[in-house]
Structure 1
């Protein structure tokens, strides 16, 4: 019997598509992947920058049309049984019309909230997305209440990527520099807790400051932007790593990565209990004072901290990898 053929359509987004592809292959599928915003020529990079960053009314229509036509061409060449789209909000209406009117089974997996994407049921029929899988419980509840097919599928830890060990003595944070995060890290520093932030907006390297135009010193130790192997190594090699969310209602990839790599995760949302046991597999804080106390205990009681670190990694590897998430997605097209 021939293997079912899946056409995986994904953004480049830190290379997660490779892991999704491998997990699907392990499940017995023949997988053909199309990365719709893959870096290419200078013109293509400018196109992708426009599609990602410009307001809707400033996006050149021909750029979207080119992305859409390339995806359609590959779709027709591949002639798949199943189409799995990851996010896909750069693809135009002709893509969705063609796929939804074909005989394929279609699932669209979202790692962001709809309010941050280009979809709107005011000018787009969300039914064209097929079965919607989302990391956002709020979106799933909202979509289901309005009659759409939506299922919560959380994000995951990528077990396939190499980890480059980076040992450190500071509590770490890897991510964007937002005012709330900066204030929390500065409070730790002022309380005598060693802390270090990584990312281009934190970095004091001249090139990072020039390209971000962020010349203000954060007042804490900082490092440059990290690729995933080094970011994983930093989280694994530090006494603990912080997971400070923005305004997401779903849990980001970092939630599963921080514990998956063997790091001791300190997270700012008690709702993490849906995936981990707070106090036993991860640490949770609700205020600046609580965070300081948690960090101080980590340094004072390393055995306690180690026990939580080990338990968090064990839970991740058993329940929160891309292999497990692909099984959940598979239920939506079988």
Structure 2
């Protein structure tokens, strides 16, 4: 009998749809509900004024009323009446939602793609109603040590968002994602050294609309582009001389880790512990300082053909071990 799966998720980059497609490949009837979606332009404006602007001022991550979000999500669970509920992140959801989601003994699983310390995630509350999976090894170990049933499930690559046909990104070292001081410093160091760099994303873009919606008055001072959706982003990484992956206050590995490798990019990554997933020097290129990053980037720029095997091996490893379907199979064990 086909199981009906409801995925309750943020709308972030459309990953909810990729997760649904992966479960569909396993035979589930999967549908999604984005709990941070808004119903109208007026509501979007209200959320920015009432929640997003204060959140930026006080350094929090609240963009909508948790009560409103939870009430709507609970209503969707009631309407869909799924066999299983998979919640992605869900840190703003209140107890009302978790009670409804688990009614009648329905299995509920949470997949955290961020560290709990940077969110409002209440593990003691959620664990009363759901099993928890996290991309963070440290969070997983802490949960288990605290007597909470938890499983480490890394992020992955969406094979249904294969790179599009595009020449964008050729001839540059690319970065796609949100800005941070570390990322800006690394790109600036390469740029100042004469390496061709370009950053894509709303937080880098000098487009007036992007500047307005990210509350920025000044330019990043780096060559930049706007947000690019999945297949286009994958194409940029594939086309680039190399693509940069710098982590912040994270012990889990970002989605870009698997997307860059799966796209067949030469990935420059700042963490040697990536060896849990890829072979440094053969499938990814690891750097430990800006000087080392610049040296590696120079070598790639001078002789890009020398790194074709890195591209091939990274992609082969990803398709064999690190797709969303692999992650779906792992999470299925939490309710099967």
Normalising by the residue count of structure 1, what TM-score does the alignment of the two structures yield? 0.91
Q: What CA distance in whole angstroms lies between the structure 2 residues aligned with 1:85 and 1:238?
A: 34
* Counterpart mapping for 1:14-25 below 5 A: 14-25=13-24
Q: 2:188 aligns with which of 182, 186, 190?
A: 186
SS of equivalent residue, structure 2 residue 127:
helix
Question: Are residues 1:143 and 2:134 paired?
Answer: no
How far does residue 194 in structure 1 lie from its aligned partner after superposition?
A: 1.4
SS of equivalent residue, structure 2 residue 20:
helix
The residue that corresponds to 2:75 in the other structure is 73
In the TM superposition, structure 1's runs of 4+ consecutive aligned residues that sit over 4 Å from their partners are 46-56, 58-62
The residue that corresponds to 2:319 in the other structure is 317
Stretch of structure 1 that moved more, 47-56 or 129-138: 47-56
How far does residue 197 in structure 1 lie from its aligned partner after superposition?
A: 1.4
**In the alignment, is the contact (CA less than 8 A) between 2:198 and 2:224 conserved in 1?**
yes
Structure 2: gaps (5+ residues):
none
The residue that corresponds to 2:118 in the other structure is 116
Question: Are residues 1:172 and 2:174 paired?
Answer: yes
The residue that corresponds to 1:296 in the other structure is 298
The residue that corresponds to 2:104 in the other structure is 102
Query: Structure 1, residues 238-275: CA drift from partner, whole Å, max 9, x if none?
Result: 11000011111100111101111111111011111111
User: Cα distance 1:142–1:217, how it changes in 2: closer, same or farther (>3 A)?
Assistant: same
SS of equivalent residue, structure 1 residue 160:
helix
User: Cα distance 1:127–1:200, how it changes in 2: closer, same or farther (>3 A)?
Assistant: closer
How far does residue 90 in structure 1 lie from its aligned partner after superposition?
A: 2.4
Q: 1:251 aligns with which of 250, 253, 256?
A: 253
Stretch of structure 1 that moved more, 160-169 or 150-159: 160-169
- RMSD over aligned Cα, in angstroms? 2.5
User: Cα distance 1:44–1:102, how it changes in 2: closer, same or farther (>3 A)?
Assistant: farther
Query: Structure 1, residues 201-233: CA drift from partner, whole Å, max 9, x if none?
Result: 322333333443434444432222322232222
User: Cα distance 1:54–1:217, how it changes in 2: closer, same or farther (>3 A)?
Assistant: closer
Structure 1: gaps (5+ residues):
none
User: Cα distance 1:71–1:120, how it changes in 2: closer, same or farther (>3 A)?
Assistant: closer
Query: Structure 1, residues 124-170: CA drift from partner, whole Å, max 9, x if none?
Result: 52323521000001100111100001110000111112533224211
Question: Are residues 1:158 and 2:184 paired?
Answer: no
Query: Structure 1, residues 79-124: CA drift from partner, whole Å, max 9, x if none?
Result: 2221111111222211112333531111111101111221235xx5
Q: What CA distance in whole angstroms lies between the structure 2 residues aligned with 1:245 and 1:184?
A: 12
For this pair of structures, how many residues does the alignment match?
A: 331
Normalising by the residue count of structure 2, what TM-score does the alignment of the two structures yield? 0.90
How far does residue 174 in structure 1 lie from its aligned partner after superposition?
A: 1.2
**In the alignment, is the contact (CA less than 8 A) between 1:256 and 1:316 conserved in 2?**
yes
Q: What CA distance in whole angstroms lies between the structure 2 residues aligned with 1:4 and 1:33?
A: 14
Q: What CA distance in whole angstroms lies between the structure 2 residues aligned with 1:18 and 1:97?
A: 25
SS of equivalent residue, structure 1 residue 209:
helix
Stretch of structure 1 that moved more, 178-187 or 134-143: 178-187
How far does residue 191 in structure 1 lie from its aligned partner after superposition?
A: 1.9
How far does residue 65 in structure 1 lie from its aligned partner after superposition?
A: 2.6
How far does residue 286 in structure 1 lie from its aligned partner after superposition?
A: 0.1
